[in-house]
Amino acid sequence: MLLAIDVGNTNVVFGLFAGASLERRWRLATLPDRTADELWVLVSRLFAEHAVDPARIDGVVMSSVVPTLTRAVADMIARGLGQEALRVDARNAGLPIGYENPAEVGADRLVNGVAAVRMYGGSGRPIVIVDFGTATTFDVISAAGEYRGGVICPGVEISADALYQRAAQLPRVEVRKPAVVIGRSTVASMQSGLFHGYVAMVEGMIHRLRAEIEGGARPVCIGTGGLAEDIAAETAVIEHVEPDLTLAGLRFVWERIARGGSGG
């Protein structure tokens, strides 16, 4: 069994694989000050509640975009499981990177790219991954499988919080699709702007990215993250939704290195 860990800005996601099958998935809130001991108390409790024997875990792979938690998670794995976690970064992801400074690319974006190439890279078309996380990111993979770069935008929850915090008369609202685009109340108007505004942003950004992709080829567009299914239901530009894209990418990297593929 393989334990894959994605340390994100909002959640730490744990995925337990038996071979290629994702058997379990858990989320913990990202609290940067959590210690290795605190993390192990929570993780070991999850193992116990779901009858997971830690001794059956053969390997651990992780990606992290929260430096203050990276060491704590690695220490938790070392103490609790007696293993060294494989940390994925630009040096061992196995994805050619066209960024000016490859070390700047978030590990989650790289493993998403690895998964996208493995799952949809045989079509001869470029790939765009839209990840609706704390930030909304667009990552471009060439038809040859090279990570070219992308776009980073504020996530929809960040935008909703900013409206609430910076405008005295605007309430905090739940981000969801309203009944109509033209809102007839403050809450409905805000929900329309947040939801339909992000749909329009995705469509417009894919259009602009396509103009800069070699040959203007229509990319395979993959959505992942919290709002991916809701946004994809409103637009034809997102062809596939893969909720567990990051965990799958971590597994692919682990398997490549375990088989003796380059780790650097």
Cα-based distances in Å from 132 to 22, 96, 153, 186, 235:
21, 24, 10, 24, 15
Catalytic residue among 108, 131, 139, 230: 108
Angle at CA of residue 226, ends 103 and 48, nearest 5°:
90
Between CA 116 and CA 240 the distance in angstroms is: 10
In whole angstroms, what is the distance from residue 245 CA to residue 224 CA?
7
Is 174 exposed, middle or buried (CB count within 10 Å of its CB: 0-12, 13-18, 19+)?
A: exposed
Q: What tokens appear for 93 in the block? A: 């992801």
HSE-CB at 204 with a 13 A cutoff on CA atoms is 7
Tell me whether residue 6 is one of the annotated catalytic residues.
no
Specify the 3-state DSSP secondary structure of 51.
coil
In the chain, count of helices (H) and strands (E)? 7, 10
Catalytic residues: 108
